[in-house]
Amino acid sequence: MCGRFNMTFDKGVKKLYTSLKINKVIDNPIDSRCVKAADTISIVRNVGEQRRVENATWWLLLDQTENDFKPSKFTSFNTRYDKLNTPRSAGYQAYRSSRCVIAVKGFGETEFVNKKPIHYYDMAAESGGLILGGLCREWKHQTTGEIKLSCSVITLPPHPKLMKIHSKAMPLILPQESLLVDRWLNTQFNEVEQFEHLLKPHIPQNLIAHQIDKPMTYKTISESQLINHD
């Protein structure tokens, strides 16, 4: 999966936030047609007994600077499914104690051949929005005491229906089932073997895909394609 989201905060995404049982929006959710890796994005996580919307750097590993934090030199905006159970990997502990979700309208993919982009696609929910499974971490600055939040999106092997769009990977799109989402966000629930079925390529809802000219202008250059759910 490539590093961009459609975080337009429209009616469909607002309904997702309602379904996530959020009582109070701590930070106004990011409302942007295109956010990219290392940008600030909105995530949903549990803090104690409270479910919160918070802003996080979309890059799981951060390095401390003199007065702040910056994204690590190690690429970590995505966390591969096959690293989640590898001890000492970046996402191992977060997968067990600090999972989050990202509510989006859609996501973008770029296909590369010999490290050169050959096409760009945007995918969006046919209706409503998508809930992506992610991880988050808190970082405390040793000098200032500032707390910084970072996150990543879990990626899966490519789905057969998406191979012509992106042949490398796809994001974990969670089924919009309240009990499943509750368990995913429960910081005390660490029986991650119960999430094993989620770590296989799966499209739980219809998607609309269209080719675009480039990520920052996102001008449609092809007819929309309907990708039916599994």
Please report the beta strands in the chain, taking only residues with DSSP state E, as ranges in sequence order: 4-7, 32-36, 40-47, 50-57, 62-64, 69-71, 78-80, 99-104, 106-113, 116-125, 130-140, 147-156, 170-171, 207-212, 225-227
Specify the amino acid at residue 3: G
Torsion of CA 225, 207, 205, 194, to 10 degrees: 120
Angle at CA 57, nearest 5°, toward 55 and 61?
140
Confidence bin at 48 (pLDDT 50/70/90): confident
Q: pLDDT tens across 194-222, in order?
A: 999 999 999 999 999 999 999 989 999 99
pLDDT tens-digit map of 85-126: 999 999 999 999 999 999 999 999 999 999 899 999 999 999
- Average model confidence (pLDDT) across the chain: 94
> Could you tell me if 71 and 105 are in contact, meaning their C-beta atoms sit under 8 angstroms apart?
no
Better-scored residue on pLDDT, 20 or 79: 79
Contact 95, 135 (CB under 8 A): yes
Question: Could you give the CA distance from residue 79 to residue 99 in angstroms, rounded to a whole number?
Answer: 12
CATH code of the region 4-108+127-207: 3.90.1680.10
Give the pLDDT score at 1.
64
Distance, CA of 109 to CA of 117 (rounded, Å): 10
Measured CA distances, 197 to 51, 84, 175, 180 (Å): 25, 14, 11, 12
Q: What is the CA radius of gyration of the chain?
A: 17
**How much is the pLDDT for 112?**
92
| Phi-psi group of 91: left, alpha or beta (phi > 0 → left; psi -120 to 50 → alpha; rest → beta) | alpha
How large a percentage of the chain has pLDDT more than 70?
A: 97
- Would the pLDDT of 24 be above 90? no
CA angle 145, 45, 27 (to 5 degrees): 65
Q: Exposed, middle or buried: residue 220 (CB in 10 Å: 0-12, 13-18, 19+)?
A: exposed
pLDDT of residue 139: 97
Mean pLDDT along residues 159-173: 95
Query: If you average pLDDT over residues 147-154, what whole number do you get?
Result: 97
pLDDT of residue 96: 97
Q: What pTM does this model have? A: 0.95
Lowest mean pLDDT among 19-33, 139-153, 157-171, 191-205: 19-33
